Chains A and B, each alone.
Chain A
């Protein structure tokens, strides 16, 4: 009680809680009315699923509903960890996530740095406009184009055969999946991803460059010593976020791209959840697998943020 009074610095706040609630509600009635549909939406479609996540520890049957299905503890998790698919989906999820961090993530930074060095405004604008386009093309179309170009009689194989090579059924070969997935991700996102870095670059104080020139630094040195450090905070923030979604791959794209002959390298946790849950209706098991994935992501996000806070000034919160 005493603590509460000390904390409440202003006289206005020291009114009893109930009075404040009523006053606030009276004053902001219309605002709460406006927020009502929004709160309802989040309650149903975001907190509802969180409530429904309990089926991961139950044997959900549609007849009994979420609440009345009986508890089975960690049974589904155990089944997953000891099952045949655990190793495969975990390996593929981690590897594709790593490829994304190593190749896709830096590609945008590199493009931004390169665009920044272009002297002609017209050329810069044109390159930007062109590289943004794929961001707006739907995944279905992107994968559809890949399927067509990479097919045994597609454009790529026609070119290979023209130079005397042998045709390769790319999308049917497990060893090609990761390469194709990652390369097409760069194609889709490199331009769009560079926007934020270009903005960060334009915020760098121009006098720094002037000073560097006086000191005799060439363009290469300026890029390494001024531009790159200048955008580092942005890079770190985006990197943390990226790690947090390290295992939220573009499941939808994989679902379109893979087929049973490439499952070996393409099947990830997200697609496994889809097959188990939606196609086979093993709701509880699939929910448990999905929950495992979300928990790892949470841990990674918190971990990345912690490390960044420890070793640099940049943090998400």
Chain B
């Protein structure tokens, strides 16, 4: 069927595409600017005014300084630890909870589920939680960023939904072969829910990578700080002094600018690099959650 597009329809299409293109440009440009600025030559960069279409000169000095900075390096390692340890605990807890709560014929299961879902609506708030964490002696330890965020209710619901969709017949077959619940979880349910497991690892991982507020209230000891808290000092409080110790007087100003951009890139690149490969899983994760509790 040949359908001749009317003028109105053309205008509609063109406006739409132009608007979406603008949105994409506005979304992307700040990131591109930071990237260009971070690899610019510091002296040329401070003289440049306005939009960067291309890096101003080329130099990796800012990156060198970032990686030589003990504060950043240490907090980077801390963050890696928080991500790995935190996500591992998240996955174990969420899988255990999701399995237990997805079984039928568990007398107290639905009551436990209701009590858990209720916590999404009733919340003690910041201060009581802070006092609990403090009371347990977790403040100023690595555990303060791991134990209180051992799992999230939303992800528990998502994983439980996935576990419920594993065919009962497979479970029964395993049971006839003498498998107990532990074996069924590890050998049947988890292997059949791999896409959801992947999504959960990603969600939890990004969550830990980007978290900073818990560290702000629970940690005093700088040696335990995650990367985001150091970033806050450098970017938001504009305090690059701690990074400039190794630079001579005259060079200070220009490098102080580009160092900030290099720090942003260092903190964001791991996720941006992984992003194209993981995007479809992330999207799938939103879907699984959306389907229904």
Contacts and interface: CB of A to CB of B under 8 A. Distances in A.
User: Which of A48, A129, A148 has the most C-beta atoms of chain B within 10 angstroms of its own C-beta?
Assistant: A148
A57 B265 CA distance: 47
A20 interface: yes
Interface stretch (A84-92, A130-138, A174-182): A130-138
Interface stretch (B59-67, B124-132, B166-174, B190-198): B124-132
B9 interface: yes
B121 A244 contact: yes
A291 to B, nearest CB: 6
A167 to B, nearest CB: 12
B264 A219 contact: no
B275 interface: yes
A274 B130 CA distance: 11
Nearest to B15: A114
A108 B97 CA distance: 33
Interface residues of B, number: 87
A287 interface: yes
Contact of A158 (B34, B50, B126, B231): B50
Interface string B163-205: 0000000000000000011100100000000000000000000
Interface string A252-268: 10011000000000000
A141 interface: yes
A139 B235 contact: no
A143 B115 CA distance: 36
Nearest to B278: A136
A298 B122 CA distance: 8
A283 to B, nearest CB: 5
Nearest to B284: A195
A45 to B, nearest CB: 5
B100 interface: yes
A45 B131 CA distance: 10
A140 B124 contact: no
A21 B107 contact: yes
A298 B287 contact: no
Contacts of A20: 107
A308 interface: no
B181 A34 contact: yes
Contacts of B272: 133, 136
Interface in A7-57: 20-21, 24-25, 27-28, 30-32, 34-35, 37-39, 41-42, 44-53, 55
A312 interface: no
A42 B149 CA distance: 11
Given A273-B125, A274-B126, A278-B217, A139 B210 contact: yes
Contacts of B13: 117, 119
Report whether over half of chain B's contact residues are helix, strand or loop; otherwise say mixed: helix
Nearest to B286: A195
Interface string A100-129: 000000000001001101110001001101
A138 B209 contact: yes
B276 interface: yes
B242 interface: no
Contacts of B232: 140, 144, 256
A286 interface: yes
B27 A134 contact: yes
B122 A141 contact: no
A52 B264 contact: no
A244 B122 CA distance: 11
Interface of B: 6, 8-9, 12-13, 16-17, 19-21, 23-24, 26-28, 30-31, 33-34, 49-51, 93, 96-97, 99-101, 103, 105-109, 112, 115-116, 119, 121-132, 136, 148, 150-151, 156, 180-182, 185, 206, 209-210, 212-213, 217, 228-229, 231-232, 234-236, 238, 260, 264, 267-268, 271-272, 275-276, 279, 282-283, 286-287, 290
24 contacts: A28-B105, A31-B100, A34-B96, A38-B97, A48-B124, A50-B124, A51-B128, A114-B19, A129-B279, A131-B27, A133-B31, A134-B27, A138-B212, A139-B212, A140-B231, A144-B264, A155-B50, A187-B26, A195-B287, A196-B286, A252-B212, A273-B125, A290-B127, A294-B123
